[in-house]
């Protein structure tokens, strides 16, 4: 673990360099391998040739989306784990992916909406609606938002939306075909406009998370200690929930549900940077971006020339990791 602030800063800069390198790899690697020089030329002086077009309209948006979505999902995961004080928590626990999926399927089935731009907003609204329901249910009662109530309410709401979605898809095969691509989660085939539409919300949430970091550290010591230190814990929790909705809801809107980044990355970041969220959150952002970029590059090579949705690659990476965390948790007790 990096202990001094100086070491942590150096580590952060190192990760930033790795992130940029991964973005560059994401641009040049793939079915049509692009040379470094060509990619550079396409970015700086696009001559409209086929190769240049691939770089500017396919590869570049893909790399940017993977980096931004990976970073946002990882930060959302770290906030969720702090809020629920549960190391296995992810934004999925708030029903964010399930809510987005449900809203998408409803819209496709009943209103035949198929524009990706529209669907992305619907996904965002669905994510926010699911999280709002979870928040209201778990805030009810005398103790307010306890980690246990949040986890229970979230799991129940997520299961409800997921089963409704499956039921509707089972009855409507046409919708199934249309939304299956979306439900698998992918950073490919998305236009840059999708990202630019939600980017202001994501960027605001990044900044908000950094401002909240110090307060999250206090919350991690338990509600009583935090209240004793003069924290208005419900206010901080509500702010953290809002940030999770922006980060994870924005991500799901752009790339569909991509699992496991939110669970895995905070653990990696803690191993490097420790438990202080002022360092943990930026480490999560960079590591999350790197991991999703690498998973997406891997997705191009698993079944070459076909591509695997990146959500499946992260799941393949994530499941063993999940089991490792769970077993370590058991061993620690």
Residues making contact with other proteins (CB under 8 A): 1, 3, 142, 211, 214, 217-218, 220-222, 224-225, 227-232, 270, 274-276, 332
For the bound state, the minimum distance from the C-beta of residue 10 to other proteins, rounded and expressed in Å, comes to 19
**Contact yes or no for 12/282 (Cβ under 8 A):** yes
Taking residue 271's Cβ as centre, other Cβ atoms within 10 Å add up to 11
For the bound state, the minimum distance from the C-beta of residue 225 to other proteins, rounded and expressed in Å, comes to 5
**SS3 breakdown of the chain: % helix, strand, coil, rounded to 5?**
80, 0, 20
Residue 31 CB partners (closer than 8 Å, separation 6+)? 300, 304, 305
Question: Cβ closer to other proteins: 13 or 225?
Answer: 225
Q: How far apart are CA 106 and CA 273, in angstroms?
A: 42
Question: Cβ closer to other proteins: 3 or 50?
Answer: 3
For the bound state, the minimum distance from the C-beta of residue 245 to other proteins, rounded and expressed in Å, comes to 23
What phi and psi values does residue 130 have, to the nearest 5 degrees? -60, -45
CA distances from 304 to 80, 164, 300 (A): 36, 35, 6
For the bound state, the minimum distance from the C-beta of residue 274 to other proteins, rounded and expressed in Å, comes to 6
Distance of CA 123 to the CA centre of its chain: 14
For the bound state, the minimum distance from the C-beta of residue 227 to other proteins, rounded and expressed in Å, comes to 5
Distance of CA 27 to the CA centre of its chain: 21
For the bound state, the minimum distance from the C-beta of residue 314 to other proteins, rounded and expressed in Å, comes to 25
Q: How far apart are CA 86 and CA 94, in angstroms?
A: 13
For the bound state, the minimum distance from the C-beta of residue 222 to other proteins, rounded and expressed in Å, comes to 6
Taking residue 210's Cβ as centre, other Cβ atoms within 10 Å add up to 15
Question: Cβ closer to other proteins: 260 or 279?
Answer: 279
CA angle at 301 for the pair 298 and 305, rounded to the nearest 5°:
145
Question: Cβ closer to other proteins: 169 or 281?
Answer: 281
Question: Cβ closer to other proteins: 57 or 217?
Answer: 217
For the bound state, the minimum distance from the C-beta of residue 270 to other proteins, rounded and expressed in Å, comes to 7
For the bound state, the minimum distance from the C-beta of residue 135 to other proteins, rounded and expressed in Å, comes to 21
**Token match 């973005």: residue?**
23
End-to-end CA distance of the chain: 22
Question: Cβ closer to other proteins: 272 or 316?
Answer: 272
Question: Cβ closer to other proteins: 159 or 221?
Answer: 221
Question: Cβ closer to other proteins: 44 or 332?
Answer: 332
**Contact yes or no for 188/62 (Cβ under 8 A):** yes
- 91 DSSP 8-state letter: G
Joined tokens for residue 216: 């999250």
Question: Cβ closer to other proteins: 190 or 270?
Answer: 270
């Amino acid at each position: 673990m990096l202990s001094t602030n100086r070491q942590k800063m150096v580590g952060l800069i190192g990760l930033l360099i790795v992130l940029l390198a991964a973005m560059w790899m994401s641009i040049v690697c793939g079915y049509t391998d692009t040379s470094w020089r060509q990619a550079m030329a396409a970015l700086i002086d696009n001559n409209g040739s086929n190769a240049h077009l691939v770089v500017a309209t396919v590869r570049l948006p893909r790399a940017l989306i993977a980096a931004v979505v990976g970073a946002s999902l990882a930060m959302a995961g770290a906030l969720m784990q702090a809020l629920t004080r549960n190391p296995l928590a992810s934004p999925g626990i708030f029903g964010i992916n399930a809510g987005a999926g449900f809203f998408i399927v409803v819209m496709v089935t009943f209103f035949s909406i198929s524009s990706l731009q529209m669907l992305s907003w619907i996904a965002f609204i669905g994510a926010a609606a699911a999280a709002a329901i979870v928040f209201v249910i778990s805030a009810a009662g005398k103790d307010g938002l306890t980690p246990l109530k949040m986890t229970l309410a979230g799991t129940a709401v997520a299961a409800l939306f997921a089963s409704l979605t499956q039921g509707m898809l089972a009855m409507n095969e046409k919708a199934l075909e249309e939304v299956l691509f979306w439900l698998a989660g992918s950073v490919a085939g998305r236009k840059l406009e999708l990202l630019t539409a939600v980017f202001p919300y994501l960027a605001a949430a990044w900044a908000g998370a950094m401002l909240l970091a110090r307060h999250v550290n206090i919350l991690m010591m338990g509600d009583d200690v935090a209240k004793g230190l003069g924290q208005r814990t419900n206010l901080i929790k509500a702010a953290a929930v809002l940030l999770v909705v922006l980060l994870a809801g924005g991500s799901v809107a752009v790339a569909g549900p991509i699992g496991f980044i939110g669970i895995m990355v905070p653990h990696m970041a803690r191993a490097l940077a420790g438990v202080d969220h002022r360092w943990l959150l930026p480490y999560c952002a960079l590591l999350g971006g790197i991991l999703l970029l690498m998973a997406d590059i891997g997705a191009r090579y698993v079944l070459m020339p076909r591509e695997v949705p990146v959500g499946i690659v992260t799941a393949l990476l994530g499941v063993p990791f999940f089991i490792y965390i769970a077993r370590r948790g058991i061993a620690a007790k």
